[in-house]
Amino acid sequence: MKAYDHFYINGEWVSPVTARMQDVVNPATEQAIGQVALGSAADVEKAVAAARAAFETWSQTSVEERLALLERIITLYSERMEEMTQAISSEMGAPIRLARNSQAPIGLVHFKTVRKVLQSYDFEESLAGSQLVKEPVGVCGFITPWNWPMNQIACKVAPALACGCTMVLKPSELAPISANLFAQIMHDAGVPPGVFNMVNGDGPGVGAALTAHPDVDMVSLTGSTRAGIQVSKAAADTVKRVALELGGKSPNIILEDADFDAAVAAGAAECFRNTGQSCNAPTRMLVPARLHDRAVEIAKATAEETIAGDPQSKQTVIGPLANSAQFSKVQSMIQAAIDEGSELVAGGVGRPEGLERGYFVKATVFANVKNDMLVAREEVFGPVLAIMPYQDEDEAVAIANESPYGLAGYVQSGDIEHARAIARKIRAGTIFLNGNNFDPNAPFGGYKQSGNGREWGSFAFHDFLELKGIVGYNPPA
């Protein structure tokens, strides 16, 4: 059983100031597969000091130097892709196909996208008689979750490096194996000491200290809305920049002119993907009232065909939930929805048949759901679908927007212009038309309580740059 008992600070693997160990549990077996050291404010102090010192030189590097570093990271990440795949699958239960095809590669995708953006990004431009200069914001604190570990780490670290920032990463203490491998890749790629630092730990011990630290210039969190509120309050005392990617309850509007059967099946499968542990999952399926029963029939069949089991099996569609707390939460929310009177048509409480151990949960479908029901209002973060009937498109849009969240939305239609017209009416940061068409160049982030700021592509650069107007600058003729 491996111990992840060192932090990466100032270009070295160092021991915690005070050692406090926690088991790393494989959610498929409920067995400890390692231990991780949990840091403290004293470790954060060391890491921030290293990042602050390194900022003086890294912020002055050329685009060519930063591109060369990104290139080395991309090469080494590619070489260790299968190792990253296995790390993610073992620590958070992703089925091996999902880990190999999506979870691990998505980190590489973000680095490649940032490399392309940096090649032509304008850090200076003329504005009449003045000059606009975009400069790195400073030392950044990153707090990332366990559900898509490399996605969230890479889409923060890559643009921050490209913009000339230095950083301290606090990955999820529940998924530290992939983060430790990532830190080793950064070290082997020759990231200068202090530019990238990583301190493992929990929210109270490390996250709070990082957020409140006066020498941290910006904080970027991916997590729950509750956590986002706490981070915003803690950051307010030092007036630091805060970027938040938070919860979601994404609507999936299936229009009359869609390929209905295919759209329902695909929408249900996307809801169940990653065992429902995606903040942009299409968990509210809105269907024409006259087709509601047909939608229920298809979604029920899809749920029953969604095989839960050993993440290492190629036949497995969904693995376990990532940890015991998430398992308890999802089970209790399914039971609460049943108690509230929601119509259960597939799945429900308890483990799938034949699985007596592991944090496995049934793919679950509720029908005839109203927007004031718990299963429509609250983010379950499990494979739980709510099917909601609507009378006309205006009602569908109203239902979609009647939520405190606004991270994503989905629209299914046989007419792309029809789909785009509906998409413009949905108050959410990303709208997927006719499926989850992942685009790392498009902005990702939310409206309302789903957060602020945008990640991915060139849009990620904004939060890591300060704008300086040099007034009176006269460019040469």
Distance CA 312, CA 448 (A): 38
Distance CA 61, CA 111 (A): 18
Q: CA distances (Å), 327 to each of 319, 340, 357, in order? A: 12, 20, 12
CB 275 within 8 A of CB 318: yes
Got the DSSP string for 313-377? -TT-SB---SSHHHHHHHHHHHHHHHHHT-EEEE--SSPPTT--SSS----EEEES--TTSHHHH
Residue position matching structure tokens 């490096």: 161
Told to judge if 245 belongs to the known catalytic residues of this protein, a careful annotator would answer yes
Mark out the alpha helices in 59-104 (DSSP H runs). Answer: 63-79, 81-92, 96-98
Q: Please report, as a single letter, which amino acid is at residue 151.
A: N
Q: Give residues with Cβ within 8 angstroms of 254, minimum separation 6.
A: 260, 263, 264, 267, 285, 286, 287, 288, 295, 412
Report residue 251 CA to chain centroid gap: 18
CB 407 within 8 A of CB 250: yes
The residue annotated as part of the active site, out of 245, 270, 379, 455, is: 245
Length of the chain: 477
451-452 and 124-127: which strand pairing?
A: unpaired
Distance CA 60, CA 277 (A): 39
Distance CA 104, CA 94 (A): 10
Told to judge if 279 belongs to the known catalytic residues of this protein, a careful annotator would answer yes
The residue annotated as part of the active site, out of 140, 279, 379, 455, is: 279
DSSP single-letter state for residue 476:
-
Distance CA 112, CA 105 (A): 11
End-to-end CA distance of the chain: 67
- The neighbouring-strand residues paired with 7 are 14
Half-sphere exposure of 436 (CA within 13 A, CB side): 19
Q: Which residue, among 218, 210, 220, 142, has the nearest Cα to 182 in the 3D structure?
A: 142
Report residue 257 CA to chain centroid gap: 32
Tell me the catalytic residues.
245, 279
